[in-house]
Amino acid sequence: MAQQLGELLQTADWKKEKHVPIIECADNWSPDDFAEVTVTLGKEVAHPNTTEHHIRWIELFFQPEGAKTYQVARFDFTAHGESAKGANEGPVYTHHEGKVRVKASAPGTLYALAYCNIHGLWQSSKDITVG
């Protein structure tokens, strides 16, 4: 029997595991202002960014308390040193980090998903308050 997608999501302490997305933002948001949210990974333990091993994308979601989940942003990383000359010979690389400004009128939870081309799906979350 096939597993549910949620059963495939991996998580760990981002200070020890390079694949866990890190959500950085204020804990308390004003309902009238946009809050800056940065999502990255590999802050304490660097993640490679090579043709063979890289983060392909990060997605950010928000779930207000007692409501459905909303997709906030998707960041695609498509340059990892690939080239006709060979792997890691390309002239450009992207860093796995995204920033977005978000306004919320209710408290809830931010969720981040990151996809490593070798190690699969990783998740993290951060609660925010509004007031």
The helix/strand/coil state of 18 is: coil
Residue 116 designated active-site = yes
- The single-letter DSSP state of residue 50 is S
Residue 15 designated active-site = no
Q: In what order do the strands lie in the sheet with 108-116?
A: 28-29, 120-130, 108-116, 55-64, 70-76
pLDDT by residue, tens only, the chain of 131 residues: 777 777 777 777 767 788 999 999 999 999 999 999 999 998 888 899 999 999 999 999 999 999 999 999 999 999 999 999 999 999 999 999 999 999 999 999 999 999 999 999 999 999 999 99
5-130 CATH fold: Immunoglobulin-like (2.60.40)
**Residue boundaries of the structural domains of the chain:** 5-130
* CA 54 vs CA 7, 41, 43, 63, 105: distances in Å: 22, 11, 15, 28, 35
Annotated catalytic residue within 25, 47, 80, 96: 47
Residue 53 designated active-site = yes
Does this model's pTM top 0.75?
A: yes
- The single-letter DSSP state of residue 124 is E
